[in-house]
Amino acid sequence: MAIIAEFSIPSEDFPLGGIFDAIPDVTIEIERVVPTKKAILPYFWVRNVPVERVQKTLEDQGALDSFTVIDDLGEQGLFRADWDINTEGVLTGIIDSDLTLLAATGTQENWEFEFRAEVNDQIKNFQQYCTAHDIRVELTRLHSVGEANNKGQYSLTSDQREALLLAYNNGYYEVPAQTNLEELAAEIGISRQSFTDRLRRGNSNLIGDTLDIE
pLDDT, one tens digit for every residue, the chain (214 residues)? 678 888 989 988 887 777 888 888 888 888 765 555 555 667 888 888 899 998 888 888 776 778 889 888 888 889 888 776 666 788 888 888 888 888 888 888 888 888 888 888 999 999 999 999 899 998 887 777 655 544 445 667 777 888 999 999 999 999 999 999 999 989 988 878 778 888 888 888 777 767 655 5
Q: Are both 32 and 84 inside the same structural domain?
A: yes
Distances (CA, A) of 163 to 99, 172, 203: 28, 11, 10
Residue 201 Ramachandran class (φ > 0 left, ψ -120 to 50 alpha, else beta) = alpha
Neighbours of 1 (CB within 10 A): 9
pLDDT at 155: 64
With beta carbons less than 8 A apart as the criterion, state whether 172 and 184 touch. yes
Residues 113 and 8 in one domain: yes
Q: What is the DSSP letter of 190?
A: -
Which among 158, 169, 156 is positioned nearest to 209, based on CA atoms? Answer: 156
Domain identity same for 104 and 196? no
Of 93, 113, 144, the residue that ends a domain is: 144
Q: Are residues 115 and 33 in the same domain?
A: yes
Largest CA distance in the chain: 54
The pLDDT, as a whole number, for residue 150 is 44
60 and 16 in a common domain? yes
d(CA 120, CA 138): 16
- Check: pTM over 0.95? Answer yes or no: no
Residue 188 belongs to domain spanning: 158-210
15 and 80 assigned to the same domain: yes
The count of structural domains within the chain is 2
- pLDDT value for 151: 43
Same domain (yes/no): 124, 205:
no
In a domain, 150, yes or no: no
**Would you say residue 151 lies in a domain?**
no
For position 40, what pLDDT does the model report? 62
Going by their DSSP bridges, the two strands 66-72 and 76-82 should be labelled as antiparallel
